[in-house]
Amino acid sequence: MTQGVFYCYQIPLSNIAKVDWIVGNPIRDRELEAELNQPVWRVQYNVDHPNMQKFNRFDTCTSCQFFGVVFEDDVEDDFEEECQEATLLWH
């Protein structure tokens, strides 16, 4: 199983155990919280899960009540394409 990471500012308050594409428990990212001055969660997910493919993963996260989602590989891709400092854009 390949694992990916996304960051978000809100996670579901209940039923998180029923989300079958999450790997482990979401954890707070205190370093990013200090930078952004708001709660930030780091969530590991199963990249191979059908609902977490590049074309549908944002909608999947939103439908499961993860909000402000930024995928780590999207930030890395943007950084590599632009060859400059990466900026997090919260949806």
pLDDT bracket for residue 1 (50, 70, 90): confident
Domain residue ranges of the chain, discontinuous segments joined by +: 3-82
- Report the relative pairing of strands 41-46 and 27-28 from DSSP bridges: antiparallel
Do the Cβ atoms of 44 and 24 come closer than 8 Å? Answer: yes
State both tokens at 75. Answer: 């930030």
Kindly state the helix (H) or strand (E) to which residue 83 belongs, with its residue range: none
Residue with the bigger pLDDT between 14 and 88: it is: 14
**Is the confidence at residue 84, as pLDDT, over 80?**
no
Kindly state the helix (H) or strand (E) to which residue 31 belongs, with its residue range: helix 30-36
Q: What is the DSSP string of 49-68?
A: SGGGSTTTHHHHHHHTT-BS
Tens-digit pLDDT profile for residues 17-46: 899 999 999 999 999 999 999 999 999 999
